[in-house]
Amino acid sequence: MNAAHDKLWGGRFAEPTDAFVEAFTASVAFDQRLYRHDIAGSKAHAQMLAKVGVLSEAECQAIVQGLDAILAEIEQGQFTWSIAREDVHMNIEARLIERIGEVGKKLHTGRSRNDQVATDIRLYVREAIDLIRAQLQRLQQGLLDLAEREADTIMPGFTHLQTAQPVTFGHHLLAWFEMLKRDDARLADCRRRVNILPLGSAALAGTSYPLDRAYVAQLLGFEGISDNSLDAVSDRDFAIEFCAAGALIMTHLSRFSEELILWTSAQFGFIELPDRFCTGSSIMPQKKNPDVPELVRGKTGRVNGNLVALLTLMKAQPLAYNKDNQEDKEPLFDTIDTLLGCLRAFADMMPHLQVRREVMYEAARRGFATATDLADYLVRKGLAFRDAHEVVGRAVQHGVHSGRDLADMSLEELRGFCERIEADVFEVLTLEGSVAARKLHGGTAPAQVRQRIQAARQA
């Protein structure tokens, strides 16, 4: 027999594929991770073919049992993956034919690898979204627990990385929580567009077989079926959208990482990470390096690169399917793996964060963090805000030259800048008074932080 005929598609070819080309074009080295989803899709397809009378019940049963046996082989490490069989689909189908004979050749009736792989990827991404959201929500829970514990802990809030106003550490943690809440909502929204069945689109034009696509969608848990066969087999916007959501998650984690790295430094000393999340230096015995957040920060560039790779992959493809789309899987898989790893690391680490409350408090006392409070105080005393701003600016300048914070100045010194200042000014110049006053919805006051935590837990 002609060697080209060893391929399940080889009937049209007069010579076998060049050995280098065979290896160059094969995807089984990386797409074999789709095996569970490929088998699930094939079982549903077979059951549907039996329902519409294309397969007999006995043929369907033989195919389903054969696929279950192959699944067991793969999971027990007894399955031999072959580059000659190109991809996960052909490896499984060829093995099915080996196991059950001619009946196995009927499985591919009414479908193409084009709609088959599109289905597999959607199943895979759908599952990945659920796993990622679970890790994301575990991290959110850890943030809420830590924020509740630190609702009264005062730290400096920063703009431009300069001391701005005092905030509570619980409030700062809730800012991270809000970012992740939006990330979770994006994934949930993305999942709805992922969860559309392309199977039944065949190669590009649909099929003449009387397939029941809605039945396959029901079996596989899809919320709907694709409306255009050309689009269904060729676009990967759902994967790009997922990677965009993933890039935003990593960008948020990178921002968290940056703060953790700064805060663990001797120059800040706000927190300490558990030893098991850090490493040392081979030459400097005193070092305790925050490797986990540093690595998460670094991996963000990797995920951003995956997004750009997929956008570039898709940008110039004519309809319908092109071999280019084989290149969609490695960036997608890498994004999923990276997200799961980074979220797990952060979720594991968050409950064990050691907070140095006294260091945070002392840092908040430096840098004139209550200057805005003094300006607001003067406004309440009848001064226009711009005039109050000028008064406080001069007071701060005096403090810089004398090396003292506003709260350390005497009443007489402060009245030298504005006669409207009275003894009650010291109530607003304390850090506790400053944060407690900001009790508007979304503010940093401990009471407001606790309200937001309760609302988040209920949500």
Just list the catalytic residues.
Answer: 160, 281
Distance CA 267, CA 363 (A): 11
How, if at all, do strands 354-355 and 196-197 pair? unpaired
Distance CA 44, CA 403 (A): 76
How, if at all, do strands 162-168 and 154-159 pair? antiparallel
Q: What is the 3-state secondary structure (H, E, C) of the chain?
A: CCHHHHCCCHHHCCCCCCHHHHHHHCCHHHHHHHHHHHHHHHHHHHHHHHHCCCCCHHHHHHHHHHHHHHHHHHHCCCCCCCHHHCCHHHHHHHHHHHHHHHHHHHCCCCCCHHHHHHHHHHHHHHHHHHHHHHHHHHHHHHHHHHHHHCCCCEEEEEECCEEEEEEEHHHHHHHHHHHHHHHHHHHHHHHHHHCEECCCCCCCCCCCCCCCHHHHHHHHCCCEECCCHHHHHHCCHHHHHHHHHHHHHHHHHHHHHHHHHHHHCCCCCCEECCHHHCECCCCCCCCCECHHHHHHHHHHHHHHHHHHHHHHHHCCCCCCCCHHHHHHHHHHHHHHHHHHHHHHHHHHHHHHCEECHHHHHHHHHCCCCCHHHHHHHHHHCCCCHHHHHHHHHHHHHHHHHHCCCHHHCCHHHHHCCCCCCCCCHHHHHCHHHHHHHCCCCCCCCHHHHHHHHHHHHHC
CA–CA–CA angle 221, 223, 228 (5° rounding)? 115
Tokens standing for residue 52: 């519409």
Distance CA 331, CA 320 (A): 21
- Phi/psi-derived region of residue 53, left when phi > 0, alpha when psi is between -120 and 50, beta in every other case: left
CB atoms under 10 Å from CB of 320, counted, come to 18
Mention every residue, 6+ apart, whose C-beta is less than 8 A from residue 12. Answer: none
